[in-house]
Amino acid sequence: MYLTITDAALEKINPILKAEPGRRLVMMYEDGVSPYSHHGEVAMQVSFVFAIIREDQPLLPWFDETIDSSIGPLPIKGYSKDYMIPNMVLDVKKFGGVVLRGDSGVIDDTPEIRDETATVTD
């Protein structure tokens, strides 16, 4: 699996990711599993969130694998690979929303970029 994050998509991610040192990006299948996932009921459709968390926030047990990306390894929920394809692109649509697509078409036409740095994980 490989995810290319376009420069246009990075312009949407970086204001949160680079706001303070010690932040990281995770690619999360939105299924209600993990403290960063809020909407399990949308799991009837493929829905991804690109969540920015602090480096001191836990990944395990939820994010148990990584995929390669144009900005380095991205933590994922291993079982979410079932909804991914080998070559994916996170890009910006004509009117400013983001889209996750691959060689076979659109995977998620409304992925969310979300700041989860304030999420309490105790």
Rg of the chain in Å (alpha carbons): 13
Q: How confident is the model at residue 40 (pLDDT cuts 50, 70, 90)?
A: low
Mean pLDDT of 59-73: 95
Give the CATH superfamily of 2-115.
HesB-like domain (2.60.300.12)
Average pLDDT over residues 63-67: 97
pLDDT score, position 122: 62
pLDDT of 41 reads 53
